[in-house]
Structure 1
């Protein structure tokens, strides 16, 4: 199931079999070489036997890089066997290397295939080095000159090239997934070169006195520690400390690699209502639950797929062998089934569900785009109340035109706010009983360099399903709070309402941003109001409730926008810390002619009044509607009957001309025309 599972009798049997087979191969190779040239071994000096013993001792405690495959093992014995091949030839070096590989394989519990794989790499390296020496008709001298140095470097280069060529061929033959980023490959090469460079020094020490050779183990140990430190440092940057799974960086590196020309799928999982576990059982229990979820996900996917923890309660699975959306959906359903069994936590069974977004990758599409698409699909699943959603060309936000618009918007938000084209218009909200301006709603516009003015509906439709929405909300909040400070300095304080999306509330950091902005601009919290929609509540009610509760405690008013068009409205009115509800314009526009719409509007106003909430009507465009709202007891209204949305400078002029108008007074020429 995972790395911590107990060793089974079958695995112990495999290791014993590996020991017997590899030991037999080594002895057979040694006997074969002995039979070929028995005199060669009898004439070998004591220095050879000391280095042979040191090679075996060094490999008795090998240090493979953490979490890596057999092709990544750097055996310390190579410095001794390389010295032997330079001084006494291929046959003596090969015998020692095979015995050392056998010892290392047993110590690292390698299978027979892995041990043979490792042996072939080192045989190839020694053979290439011996070939260089043979072609040059050369053995290293007691007092080496420049020719000896050049040939030693050539032999070392041949050793490295041959060893890693065999490793690459073996990976291809065994379909082993390639996970060798550039930094990791540099650490491999540096460690190997450092060990090989010790070989001439060992031979010089042997010429002086073979008794000096055991001191080389200290240098070998230092190289091992250096290589291991480099591996652990690299691994720490690519592995999640809590779960032991690869992290976001590892996922991005894997997605950027060129693999076989087959379709891959990225499944992004976000646990539903995870914050309630932290609240009820504590953060320690939440961490243990995340670790157990990671174990269960890792056990549910094949070995060739990658399971990743992205952060928080988000996980991802990179499926490398899918045949389309239907195949990816089956994987997602398998994952949800794996998570369906309760997790026992301190004697309490905890139910876990996840929303899963799927994005399909084929060809040369980059990993960053794939991750954005999977995240977009995941949020779509949450908004719909489904467990699984697939991002595809048939998705409403995936048309080429909208993708181009989204790319332009993302680029604009990275520029300076002074020239990004993002502008805010403000529409006044009028108290019906007094006719006075009680606030404004900030409405977003974007002056696209080619398309002209892009309205809020199209802008939000493109941005809301993507991470760009959070950047856009941050940009709007910055400008609105700064404008509130300017109005307050001009002694014309106004309350401003800002729309926030499901993505903003789901992330939760919007509360921290609002608190920081209000503090920096010295703006009272009651001058800012945030508008949320019922669809935002459906995404993750518990997490959203936590966010808006924090905002309410700060003194920021919360308005429920588009009331009546979502789900569970009465439940939200009862549970959420709201200050007002906004009646959707689809009901207000028709209330003068449609008795049903009028009845709905009156019911909402009565319900809000009984709960102590303000009722604000949107889309008031004529005096008849204005009077009907007044008769129903509506608290405030906004719409073209009083003013269109306008920039802040025009709003200041409008406020200077405006005079309050009550519903009982007929509209006069002094009221600004729409």
Structure 2
């Protein structure tokens, strides 16, 4: 697939008709020139006719540049026609240029409007150069000097300015989108200047002997190679080599170029369970599948929209003609329908689904913001189990207050040195049977400079749907492992549990980060425990399983947090390398008064016992609940009944004062009040 192929090229019968019409227009224009100024063609020297023939031959191999506009082409004939305009005037040069443009248009399969557009540009350039030469009554002779060199540069500058002025006017009249690519502009400018400034050399050669002129084709070949190399280099930096689609850099460039005159939507797709294809069929089959996904997405969107491969199994569609969230949703649903058809792979039909996030343009937000919002919406879709989610001004996470808080958090995490008010508190976990401290859970607090203390729930609600969550997790892991090393040096080793999000597990590099921290601080892996939620498992179980399996093999224990509030819990308990389950506080708080909550707590404890897992109860706030958990056989508990979360310095004093106390076990059957 060619991501930079011209999309308005004629084909088949249309191409032949375009060639006939263009040739007829060219012949008519040349006859009109001959009739209007017959004297301009009288007594032209052999050098003119030699240059005319070489101009036509040279344009059989034009130099296209990356891009879709007709102006993105360099005609080799301009060195000959520019030389003709300097030596013999505008009319003879224009006659040759029209024929050369026709040949180039036929070679590039241009439609009639594109060929006419190209002819207008070059006619304007020749006219401007002729005006500059005429103002000083100047023609390059057999013995050029510095004055001739300066005037040649002036005429070449006028040629390029006039050509691009015509191109800009045509784009404005036809509402063609403007693009500004600096690398493309440099290639265009350098190639055009090289050809135009070759003109006086050709004239000098013609004065010596016209037989030397064909040697100029070698110089033209060098220019052709230079322009082609520039185009290939540009394409390589902007095109994904596997699928042929534009890459992330091309998307960011395109989003920064297009103005806010029309609403657009960025639709980000992440393939679900793609890793299973690589595991089952091999990476070669996975690569072929990605290429077929790219083809299907390209076929499913209008030609004016941009399909991009961001990397891995992530794709994006930049829809440029949307009327709001409903319109963008319809495009996303059309994409999911296109992907829902099985992909035949070596005789095996492969089913694929995708989680899709949509971000809508609002004002003059930059492309990076739009991409970040689409990624946030995509993760929301994964977490909710939906296929499509829209990031918009009505979303709770998009409120101005929350966005401001997120910006402050990002700045605080990147502050050097850290003095941002982000603190870790530690809450002890107590063994119910013995009353001993088994470990602690690290809990996040943020003292905002204006809002005061921001609790962990609000902090995670703001950060988790965004890439800031990974910065936050990295900061917490670094501080917790450093604290574990300090406790170990002081002779009081403790196990610490850290919560990680779905975004951290999907990234895949968290295992490498944890392993590196444990090595750097010389902390045994069994002193660190990571807590994951069922919602993290639901988004992409296969990717999460691969990550936590690596962590388990390192010796890091995995705890399933908020057990009972998600879905497919039994499947997770059976398949995942877990060490414990944490009973959600919503069940523990009500177990003394609600028969249903009590039954759920007892069932979870029994299930964990049968699977060889620890059961830890959260939210234990009174002695009655503590005793009831002991009666049910729960292994450990944490809550305000024993200790509130506290900074590391206060925890040391609490540990010194703590005396293990076994709870009195309730005798006989226990029935809640209601």
TM-score under structure 2 length normalisation? 0.95
Distance between the aligned counterparts of 1:370 and 1:104, measured in 2? 40
2:10–2:18 Cα contact (<8 Å) kept? no
The residue number in structure 2 matching 1:76 is: 76
Structure 1 equivalent of residue 383 of structure 2: 383
Find out whether 1:172 has 2:172 as its counterpart.
yes
In structure 2, the residue matched to 1:141 is: 141
Task: Establish whether residue 532 from structure 1 lines up as the match of residue 541 from structure 2.
Answer: no
Cα deviation for residue 555 of structure 1 reads 1.8
1:245-264 map, 5 Å: 245-259=245-259, 261-264=261-264
Q: Does 1:132 align with 2:132?
A: yes
The SS at the match of 1:309 is strand
**1:625 lines up with 2:625 in the alignment:** yes
What is residue 507 of structure 1 aligned with on the other side?
507
Q: Secondary structure at the match of 1:315?
A: strand
Check 1:417–1:582 CA distance in 2 against 1; reply closer, same or farther (3 A cut). Answer: farther
Q: Does 2:239 align with 1:239?
A: yes
Distance 1:260 1:648 in 2: 51
More displaced 10-residue stretch of structure 1: 266-275 or 42-51: 42-51
State the 1:137 CA deviation. 2.2
Q: Does 2:57 match 1:57?
A: yes
Secondary structure of the 1:359 match is strand
Quote the offset at 1:417 in angstroms: 5.3
Return the offset for 1:68. Answer: 4.0
- The more displaced of 42-51 and 316-325 is 42-51
Shift of 1:619: 1.1
Cα deviation, residue 539, structure 1: 1.2
Find the counterpart in structure 2 of residue 333 from structure 1: 333
Deviation at 1:651, TM superposition (A): 1.8
Deviation at 1:320, TM superposition (A): 0.8
Could you tell me which residue of structure 1 aligns to residue 634 of structure 2? 634
Instruction: Give 3-state SS (helix, strand or coil) of 2:663's partner.
Output: coil
Equivalent in the alignment of 1:488: 488
Unpaired runs of 5+ in structure 2? 667-674
Secondary structure of 2:197's counterpart equals helix
Distance 1:342 1:2, change over 3 A: farther
Matches within 5 A, 1:513-528: 513-528=513-528
- What residue ranges of structure 1 are gaps of 5+ in the alignment? 667-674
Shift of 1:171: 2.4
Question: Would you say the 8 A contact 2:310–2:316 is kept in 1?
Answer: yes
CA contact (8 A) 2:65 2:184 kept: no
Q: Which moved more, 1:596-605 or 1:456-465?
A: 596-605
Q: 1:446-497, CA deviations, whole angstroms, 9 ceiling, x for partnerless residues? A: 1222222211111000001111111111111122122222222223221111
Whether 2:601 is the aligned partner of 1:612: answer no
> By how many angstroms is 1:250 displaced?
1.2
Deviation (angstroms), 1:149:
2.9
Which residue of the partner structure matches residue 433 of structure 2?
433
How far did 1:90 drift? 0.9
Counterparts of 1:180-579 in structure 2, within 5 Å, are: 180-259=180-259, 261-416=261-416, 418-579=418-579
Task: Give the whole-Å Cα distance in 2 for the aligned partners of 1:533 and 1:36.
Answer: 84
Shift of 1:221: 2.0
Instruction: Quote the offset at 1:633 in angstroms.
Output: 0.9
1:146: Cα distance to partner? 4.1
Moved more, 620-629 or 273-282: 620-629
Cα pair 1:262 1:362 within 8 Å, conserved: no
Does structure 1 conserve the Cα–Cα contact (< 8 Å) formed by 2:11 and 2:109?
no
Residue 670 of structure 2: aligned partner: none
Deviates more, 1:600-609 or 1:220-229: 220-229
CA offsets, 1:503-551, max 9 Å, x none? 1112222122222222222222211111111111111122222222222
Contact 1:2–1:298 (CA under 8 A) maintained in structure 2: no
| Structure 1 counterpart SS, 2:238 | coil
Number of equivalences: 664
Q: Is the 8 A contact 1:2 1:299 kept in 2?
A: no
- Residues 82, 126 of structure 2: 8 Å contact kept: yes
Deviations 1:14-57 (A, max 9, x none): 22222222222222222222233334334111221222222222
Q: Using the TM superposition, give the Cα deviation of residue 270 of structure 1 relative to its aligned residue in structure 2, in angstroms.
A: 0.8
- Deviation at residue 173 of structure 1 after TM alignment: 3.2
Q: Is the 8 A contact 2:265 2:322 kept in 1?
A: yes
2:79–2:196: 8 Å Cα contact kept in structure 1? yes
Equivalents in 1 of 2:658, 2:409: separation in Å?
A: 36
CA contact (8 A) 2:2 2:245 kept: no
2:585 aligned partner: 585
SS in 1 for 2:198: helix
Aligned partners of 2:23 and 2:102 also within 8 Å: yes
Q: Partner of 1:336: helix, strand, or coil?
A: helix
Structure 1 residue 618: deviation in Å?
A: 0.8
Q: Decide whether the 8 Å contact of 2:590 with 2:597 is kept in 1.
A: yes
1:303 CA displacement: 1.4
SS at match of 1:615: strand
Q: Deviations over 1:64-97 (max 9, x none)?
A: 1245432200111111111111111111111111
Contact 1:582 / 1:618 at 8 angstroms: preserved in 2? yes
Question: Which residue does 1:671 correspond to in 2?
Answer: none
Give the secondary-structure state (helix, strand or coil) at the position aligned to 2:139: coil
Measured in 2, the distance between the counterparts of 1:101 and 1:369 equals 44
TM-aligned CA distance change 1:164 to 1:4, over 3 Å:
closer
1:226-261 deviations in whole A, cap 9, x for unaligned? Answer: 222222212211111111111111111111124362
Residue aligning to 2:672: none
Task: Quote the Cα distance in structure 1 between the aligned partners of 2:457 and 2:154.
Answer: 67
User: Partners of 1:416 and 1:642 in 2: how far apart?
Assistant: 37
Preserved CA contact (<8 Å) 1:66 1:228: no
Using the alignment, how far apart are the partners of 2:178 and 2:303 within structure 1?
13
- Residue 670 of structure 1: aligned partner: none
Q: Residue 141 of structure 1: CA displacement? A: 3.2
**Is the 2:66–2:72 Cα contact (8 Å) retained in structure 1?**
no
- C-alpha separation in 2, matches of 1:308 and 1:516: 34
Per the alignment, residue 659 of structure 2 pairs with 659
- Structure 1 position 423, deviation (Å): 1.5
Residue 669 of structure 1 aligns with which residue?
none
| Deviation larger for 415-424 or 334-343 | 415-424
**Further displaced range: 439-448 or 206-215:** 206-215
Q: Please give the alpha-carbon distance, in whole angstroms, between the structure 1 residues aligned to 2:362 and 2:588.
A: 48
Counterpart-to-counterpart distance in 2, 1:449 and 1:223: 61
Change (3 A) 1:10 1:136: closer
- 1:180 shift after superposition: 3.0
1:271 deviation in Å?
Answer: 0.8
Structure 1 residue matching 2:317: 3-state secondary structure: strand
Distance in 2, Cα, partners of 1:67 & 1:351: 35
Matched with 1:672 is none
SS of the aligned residue for 2:425 comes to strand
Q: 1:645 to 1:417 in 2, by over 3 A?
A: farther
Q: Secondary structure at the match of 1:11?
A: coil
| Residues 623-663 of structure 1: CA deviation (Å, up to 9, x unaligned) | 22111111111111111122211222222232222222211
Tell me, in whole angstroms, the C-alpha distance in 2 between the residues paired with 1:175 and 1:10.
Answer: 21
